[in-house]
């Protein structure tokens, strides 16, 4: 399957063949769901913390004598039964992260790319953005006919894309990613995916 290679002014510069084994597989919903869950879980802080009765300060003295008061026997005012006492089975700092085999993670990326294949726009590079100006990026997106949430995948460190990062960072609907940081969550959330030709080649090489 082939795509047109466009310039950022919307001009057709040629064609590129998208590898069927990367951009044309049957999306595996289950593996994509696992990869998304893994990504969201791994981003969780897991820092919620409560104190048990052993950790709450105070409560060293027996509050009243064992017998004769008519009250239930108590050894400490920091028991979970009292206000200011410890918490039973409350949260403790923990990691929510879980692992996935590398092959499954790659399958999830291939599935997400294949699911978005019709929304992928391939550009030669962003060399036409000659200076770091937001309006140049806005007009480039308009020329490419993309709207909504736009995911731009490009090597921002290369010479031809040097102004891309500064031009795109003030546009809230645009998310910029290096090809090496490609992930399922950003792919699935995007309405359009704009990739440079070199990014397509790098992703194809990594995932095929």
Tell me the pLDDT tens digit for each residue of 183-204. Answer: 999 999 999 999 988 898 899 9
pLDDT mean across residues, the chain: 90
Q: How many angstroms separate the Cα of 92 from the Cα of each of 47, 52, 149?
A: 7, 10, 37
Residues 163-191 have a mean pLDDT of: 90
The model's confidence at residue 14, banded by pLDDT at 50, 70 and 90, is confident
Which residue spans of the chain are classified as CATH 3.40.1370.10? 2-45+100-207
Indicate if the pLDDT at residue 1 is higher than 80.
no
| Residue-level pLDDT at 124 | 87
Residue with more model confidence, 6 or 196: 196
Residue with more model confidence, 167 or 35: 35
What's this model's pTM, rounded to 2 decimal places? 0.82
| Residue-level pLDDT at 32 | 95
DSSP state of 153: E
Q: φ and ψ at 16, to 5 degrees?
A: -135, 140
For the residues of 25-92, what is the DSSP string, one character each?
S---HHHHHHHHHHHHHHT---------TTTSS---S-SS-SSSSSSPP-S-TTSTTSTT---TT---
Class of domain 2-45+100-207: alpha beta
């Amino acid at each position: 399957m082939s795509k047109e290679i466009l310039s950022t002014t919307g001009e057709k510069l040629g064609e590129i063949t998208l590898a069927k084994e990367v951009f044309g597989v049957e999306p595996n919903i289950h593996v994509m769901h696992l990869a998304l869950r893994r990504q969201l879980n791994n981003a969780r802080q897991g820092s919620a913390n409560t104190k048990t009765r052993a950790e709450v300060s105070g409560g060293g003295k027996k509050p009243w004598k064992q017998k004769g008061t008519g009250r239930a026997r108590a050894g400490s005012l920091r028991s979970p039964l009292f206000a200011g006492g410890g918490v039973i089975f409350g949260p403790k700092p923990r990691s929510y992260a879980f692992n996935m085999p590398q092959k499954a993670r790659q399958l999830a990326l291939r599935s997400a790319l294949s699911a978005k294949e019709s929304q992928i726009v391939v550009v030669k590079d962003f060399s036409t953005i000659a200076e770091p100006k937001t309006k140049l990026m806005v007009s480039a997106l308009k020329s490419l006919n993309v709207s909504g949430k736009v995911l731009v995948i490009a090597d921002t460190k290369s010479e031809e894309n040097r102004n891309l990062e500064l031009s795109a960072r003030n546009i809230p609907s645009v998310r910029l990613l290096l090809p090496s940081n490609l992930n399922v969550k950003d792919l699935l959330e995007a309405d359009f995916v704009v990739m440079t030709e070199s990014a397509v080649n790098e992703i194809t090489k990594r995932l095929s």
